[in-house]
Amino acid sequence: MELFIEAIPTWSLGYLINSDATGLTDEEINLIDNWYKENKVTDISIVTEREGEWFPYFSHYPAFGLPAEVVDCHIMLSQ
């Protein structure tokens, strides 16, 4: 297992963490699913110092998709 920190778009967190696709288009769901499969992601969690505390920021280079508001997340990958 490998652990990385990636800038994940905030619009995708509901789907990635809670499997809630509410408000996402089929294209966005496919984009997330492809990224998840291609990188062999096994777990994702928001980087925080305290539970429930996270700090979104704008990134021109999120892990997937167009430039967006993102939050740093721990990404666990299988090898």
Give the per-residue pLDDT at 25: 97
Q: Where are the alpha helices (DSSP H) in 1-79?
A: 13-18, 26-38
Locate 54 and state its tokens: 């996270």
Residue 24 CA: distances (Å) to CA of 15, 32, 47: 8, 10, 23
Give the per-residue pLDDT at 13: 95
Distance CA 10, CA 32 (A): 12
Give the per-residue pLDDT at 58: 98
Please report, rounded to a whole number, the percentage of residues in the chain having pLDDT higher than 70. Answer: 100
**Domains in the chain: boundaries:** 2-77
Give the per-residue pLDDT at 12: 97
pLDDT of 68 strictly over 80: yes
Mean pLDDT of the 2-22 span: 95
Locate 13 and state its tokens: 């967190």
Give the per-residue pLDDT at 79: 77
